[in-house]
Amino acid sequence: MSRGEDALVEDLLDGQYRALARTITRIENRSPGYRDLVAALHEHTGDAEVIGITGSPGAGKSTLVDKLAKSYREDGLTVGVIAVDPSSPYTGGAVLGDRIRMASTTGDMDTFVRSMSARGQLGGLSTATGDAITAFDAFGIDRIIVETVGAGQNEVDIVRTADTVAVLVQPESGDDIQMLKAGILEIGDVFVVNKADMPGADRTVKQLSEMLEGHDRGEWDPAIVETVATSGEGLDDLLEAFASHREFLESSGALEEKARTRYAEEVRTLLREDAGRLLEGEIERRGGIEELVDRIVARETDPYTVADEIVAPLEECLTREEAEPSVRN
């Protein structure tokens, strides 16, 4: 790392909020040297609890996150909120403004709120979110909450960076129930029927119970909690459900297994990104994709042969490395 990056890491570990903000900005922008920053912070992580909050728009996620942050702060814990919006344009701001209503914690230096947007790069967003969690964790934040704007496949990938995932459902929402049937049922550790003071809440709880009864989740039996985020009703029950899941993770060894799975997927993702970048460079050296496609269209070659030719230099390099491994001290 450069001297400036060393200083940034040192300042972050010393608890300087400006250094944390600068680090996350570099992570989100994928600025030169950001990997060195994340790598240097990794050894200082492992103490934070990460909670993912997902659900369809309008389910009340932001209000609930506000109440959760306030409750954690009342218990003397520091809180970091990462709100992910894959669809919105990047604004460059560190605070979410109108989209997340963090009124209860405004001005509280021990509640750090950060928005992250894909800016059209959905594939790398879950990795960037994981890197931001690393920065929060190394900074010493006790509870990290990851909130997504929706509940589609991209959001599913993102909240898998969390130890505990809460899925919010609105009463009598057919769209929400269809969403659960579409696969998000598998990732929820706690299901929250928010706005439980609305008509149909009991029916929604019953539907969820029936769906969960027919879905094998192994040793953990997901809890269903009713809340009214605007008033804080049911918040204690939700916090208790989170604590119970954490206890299960630690006692069963599932917490370590989750971490191993997460790191394995992160390594694979980084390798795909790196290999893709190298192969794109090889395509350009061969005249660009349009020239290669012209040859395919003219039946001078075929897609498989082109792919084999492009991968060949990388494969040759790896084969040579295997045959003559370098000695690293």
Reported as a single tens digit per residue, the pLDDT across 77-118 is 999 999 887 554 444 333 344 333 445 555 677 899 988 875
- Span 45-251 CATH architecture: 3-Layer(aba) Sandwich (3.40)
Q: State how far the Cα of 188 lies from the Cα of 69, in Å rounded to an integer.
A: 20
Q: Is the pLDDT of residue 182 over 60?
A: no
Kindly state the helix (H) or strand (E) to which residue 146 belongs, with its residue range: strand 143-148
Eight-state DSSP code of residue 90? P
pTM of the model: 0.85
Spell out the domain ranges in the chain: 45-251, 261-323
pLDDT band at 210 (very low <50, low <70, confident <90, very high): confident
Report pLDDT for 56: 79
Antiparallel, parallel or unpaired: β 143-148 and 164-169: unpaired
pLDDT at position 256 over 70: yes
Tokens of 215: 């879905």
| pLDDT at residue 128, as a whole number | 87
Contact predicate 138/127, CB 8 Å: no
In the numeric block, which tokens belong to residue 40? Answer: 């240097």
Tokens of 69: 């942050």
